[in-house]
Amino acid sequence: MKMIYARPILGGLAISTALCLSGIAAATDTETAMANPSDWASQAGDYANHRYSTLDQINASNVKGLQVAWTMSTGVLRGHEGSPLVIGNTMYIHTPFPNNVYAINLADQTYKWKYEPKQDAQVVPVMCCDTVNRGLAYGDGKIFLQQADTTLVALDANTGKVIWTAKNGDSKLGETNTNAPHVFKDKVLTGISGGEFGVHGRMNAYDIKTGKRVWTGFSTGPDDQLLVDPKKTMTWTNGKMAPIGKDSSLKTWKGDQWKLGGGTTWGWYAFDPKLNLVYYGSGNPGTWNPSQRPGDNKWSMTIWARDLDTGMAKWVYQMTPHDEWDFDGVNEMVLADIPVKGKDTPVVMHLDRNGFGYTLNRVTGELLVAEKFDPNVNWATNVDMKTGRPNVNAKYSPGTTGPDVDVKDICPAALGSKDEQPSSFDPKTGLIYAPTNHVCMTYEPFQIEYTAGQPYVGATLTMYPTPNSHGGMGNFIAWDPATGKIVWSKPERFSVWSGALTTAGDVAFYGTLEGYLKAVSTKDGSELWKFKTPSGIIGNVFTYVYNGKQYVGVYSGIGGWAGIGMAAGLSEGHEGLGAVGGYKDLAKYTTLGGSLFVFALPDGAGGTAKSANNVQ
Amino acid sequence: MAIALVSAAVVANRTDFSARAEDAPAPPYTVQDGTKVDQKTLDGWKTWRALACERCHGAEQEGLVGPSLVNSLKTLSKEDFHTTVINGRPEKGMPPWGGSDMMVKNWEGLYDYLKGRSDGAIKAGHLYPIAQ
């Protein structure tokens, strides 16, 4: 049933799409499906986290005619992050806890099979920021589900039958999972959540055939647990790459605090098959009370480049040493080859929670660009390009002021200038299209004791729209990763917590917390179309072709950190109290939901194969 | 000590949880200027803060994923409060805090604190001890 696809001639900047599929002796079924734009075979559509589709039936000139094609309830009323997968004539959808999986026949939208796991409800209270799940992975004829209770499950893609399971953590210790598993070649990679419970963050790789754990690379601790070579693992040091040296993590923690060090790994990972390197970010160090954990707390808040087969780290770069704000470094790693300072460069691009957009040479780890992608970011004035360290503004440094002092007007807030909501890279324009937050905070740290399985936070904070700005809590931006400049910025009333999609039709799609799915021009951000779904959107937009027709879809179901205020009981009298005021406003627009929306152009409006130049 | 006795009296006497205002006992907390409280209530607030209750119930107890405690404490009995914090309501996402020494030791102070928030007598945010 798969459409035969003639790839359009790619422009100069589009080499990055091609590189991810080249240099492989025998493509895996994941890679074959990802190469077919009719499918949406991984959460980002490719290894490189582009969230870009070469489809262009739906384009800037006709997107205004987009209509609902079909919808489906997921049956769960909580935050719906991630997106479905489409392989051939089957769509695979997932839900927040209890993490049900449904295979849907695209011919008539009936269920082919359902998988409804039984999980201990005790895991729910341990989950931070709503019971979200960021979606499934596909490979080796299997669908992979990373359950909240840390069980990684391999299901037969045809029948839904369990083929293997693996235990990835211990929820009694506060370990849970919200991330999507990622299939890279013959391995399934999955991280861990629980940065607010003093967990010991790590990345795990499992054998796709058997579910046997192949390697575990921790974020903090001794060299053998980190999977680093003190002489060969490199980092940016005084303007050049140098070995990290012995005990690079241990030396940056007091005593054995690294054991509770956090550095969790719940974001979006990327893979370069040519280099055989996996890229991902680690999260905040354990306890939000910075004065309680002196040191740089390596390697929390770090971009990692690890060998897929061995887990050994080739290079690391710590973005936020000694975090004082909860700026987890887990956001998506985006790979492309772009011209930087006049030279074609293989890069990894990353818009971090801390408000800086980073571009590094992904082969060597050299720091090329580090600039603010929200002009209101104030916790640091800049990143010193020689040391690679941020110049922290003491006025906004809770670690400097010490416990029990309320530090006001730190920008961005803990949920960052951007959180997990993944951006899209459009190889046609060479730009990143990013859903962002525009939120500031007060932050009051306090002394905290560790008890296994209980919150290990140690700070109270309040979040509110960026003062003296447009009044909204979000922006949708176009970002030039080669120069570190904002190309355009479209203000939004609320945080944009939906993953973006760009297409060869020169359209960028994203959802809003009010529930709109929007299409904007990739050139200037002008709004081309919008549709109000029943609930706020925190899911990621995806696209596929079925029977010669292009579809665009997204989950509608508010929740997650940005939407937690929706659930219940917002009382009167909190206007002006930051996030509560913002959330209260949100309640005017939407409420909880759980559904999938799929859109298409009506027949005759460009929505059939005959008008497409790329579907035969 | 006096405060503890008042609390005990509340436990003993409050069988009718919809008691009318004129029947309401004296508040179980002592507060000055909305931000200075007795030691027991202060320990209750510190427990609130350390166990990160605001992540679900909101910084002003106004409710987020979890319910508004400003509202709940208007009807929830002290006994039911105790049962809830110790055993949790796992199906709704409320953790059982019976394993927390801090909660086991300070749950009454936490009740007093939240009662004060619900009554509007104690302000949200940082609290301080009443000067001796």
What was the ipTM of the complex prediction? 0.74
On the question of pLDDT at A566 being above 80, the answer is: no
Indicate yes or no: CB of B62 within 8 angstroms of CB of A574: yes
- Contacts of residue A565 in chain B, CB cutoff 8 Å? 58, 64
- Contacts of residue A125 in chain B, CB cutoff 8 Å? 88, 90, 93-95
Distance CA A360, CA A477 (A): 20
* For helices B101-119 and B78-87, angle between their N-to-C axes, nearest 10 degrees: 140
Give the model's pLDDT for residue B62. Answer: 83
B83, part of any domain: yes
Confirm or reject contact between B86 and chain A (CB < 8 A). Answer: no
Question: Which comes out higher in pLDDT, residue B9 or B128?
Answer: B128
Side chain identity, residue A203: M
pLDDT tens digits along A313-325: 999 999 999 999 9
Give the confidence band of A584 by pLDDT, cuts at 50, 70, 90.
low
Count CB neighbours of B1 within 10 A. Answer: 5
Weakest-pLDDT range from A14-28, A95-109, A514-528, A601-615:
A14-28
Q: Residue B70 is part of a domain; what is its CATH number?
A: 1.10.760.10
The answer to whether the beta carbons of residues A451 and A472 sit under 8 Å apart is no
Collect all residues with Cβ–Cβ distance below 8 Å to A167 and sequence separation of at least 6: A150, A151, A152
Residue range B107-124: mean pLDDT, rounded: 96
Closest residue in A to B120 (Cα) is A573
Residue range A550-568: mean pLDDT, rounded: 76
Give the model's pLDDT for residue B115. Answer: 97
| Average pLDDT value for chain A | 91
pLDDT tens digits along A479-528: 999 999 999 999 999 999 999 999 999 999 999 999 999 999 999 999 99
The answer to whether the beta carbons of residues A266 and A437 sit under 8 Å apart is no
On the question of pLDDT at A611 being above 50, the answer is: no
Give the model's pLDDT for residue B13. Answer: 39
Task: Report the relative pairing of strands A213-218 and A202-207 from DSSP bridges.
Answer: antiparallel
Indicate yes or no: CB of B93 within 8 angstroms of CB of A125: yes
Nearest chain A Cα distance for residue B41, angstroms:
17
Side chain identity, residue B6: V
Q: Containing domain of residue A351, as a range?
A: 12-611
A3, part of any domain: no
Nearest chain B Cα distance for residue A364, angstroms:
40
Interface test with A, best of B53, B62, B87 (most A CBs within 10 A): B62
Give the model's pLDDT for residue A274. Answer: 97
B90, part of any domain: yes
Give the confidence band of B24 by pLDDT, cuts at 50, 70, 90.
low
Weakest-pLDDT range from A97-101, A139-143, A515-519, A605-609:
A605-609
B76, part of any domain: yes
Give the confidence band of A606 by pLDDT, cuts at 50, 70, 90.
low
On the question of pLDDT at B130 being above 60, the answer is: yes
Distance CA A47, CA A51 (A): 10
Question: Residue B94 has what DSSP assignment?
Answer: B
A616, part of any domain: no
B92, part of any domain: yes
Residue range A95-108: mean pLDDT, rounded: 97
Indicate yes or no: CB of A570 within 8 angstroms of CB of B99: no
On the question of pLDDT at B11 being above 70, the answer is: no
Q: Residue A224 is part of a domain; what is its CATH number?
A: 2.140.10.10
Give the model's pLDDT for residue A128. Answer: 62
A2, part of any domain: no
Nearest to A122 among B51, B62, B90 (CB): B90
Helices (H), A80-199: none
pLDDT tens digits along A281-305: 999 999 999 999 999 999 999 999 9
B14, part of any domain: no
Q: Integer distance in angstroms from the first to the last C-alpha of chain B?
A: 15
SS3 assignment, position A444: strand
In SS3 terms, A280-331 reads as EECCCECCCCHHHCCCCCCCCCEEEEEECCCCCEEEEEECCCCCCCCCCCCC
Indicate yes or no: CB of A574 within 8 angstroms of CB of B68: no
Collect all residues with Cβ–Cβ distance below 8 Å to B90 and sequence separation of at least 6: A121, A122, A124, A125, B96
Collect all residues with Cβ–Cβ distance below 8 Å to A80 and sequence separation of at least 6: A74, A95, A96, A132, A538, A539, A555, A556, A557, A559, A594
Residue range A346-362: mean pLDDT, rounded: 98
Give the model's pLDDT for residue B70. Answer: 94
Question: Which comes out higher in pLDDT, residue A398 or A130?
Answer: A398
B71, part of any domain: yes
Number of domains in chain A: 1
Confirm or reject contact between B119 and chain A (CB < 8 A). Answer: no
On the question of pLDDT at B6 being above 60, the answer is: no
Nearest chain B Cα distance for residue A565, angstroms:
4
A4, part of any domain: no
Indicate yes or no: CB of B65 within 8 angstroms of CB of A454: no
CA dihedral A249, A251, A253, A257 (to 10 degrees): 80
- Percentage of the residues of chain A whose pLDDT score is greater than 70: 90
Weakest-pLDDT range from A63-67, A470-474, A513-517, B79-83:
A470-474
Question: Residue A227 has what DSSP assignment?
Answer: T
A6, part of any domain: no
B86, part of any domain: yes
Indicate yes or no: CB of A569 within 8 angstroms of CB of B50: no
Which B positions 26-85 lie with beta carbon below 8 A of chain A? 49-52, 54-56, 58-60, 62-68, 70-71
Nearest to A568 among B63, B97, B101 (CB): B63
Residues of A known to be catalytic: 326
- Contacts of residue A568 in chain B, CB cutoff 8 Å? 63-68
A1, part of any domain: no
Residue range A108-134: mean pLDDT, rounded: 89
H or E element in which residue A553 lies: strand A549-556
The CA angle A42-A550-A524, to the nearest 5 degrees, is 85
Number of domains in chain B: 1
pTM confidence score:
0.90
Give the model's pLDDT for residue B83. Answer: 97
Indicate yes or no: CB of B99 within 8 angstroms of CB of A453: yes
Confirm or reject contact between B91 and chain A (CB < 8 A). Answer: yes
Indicate yes or no: CB of B126 within 8 angstroms of CB of A567: no
Place of tokens 């986290």: A49
Task: Report the relative pairing of strands A407-410 and A424-426 from DSSP bridges.
Answer: unpaired
Distance CA A378, CA A243 (A): 31
Confirm or reject contact between B109 and chain A (CB < 8 A). Answer: no
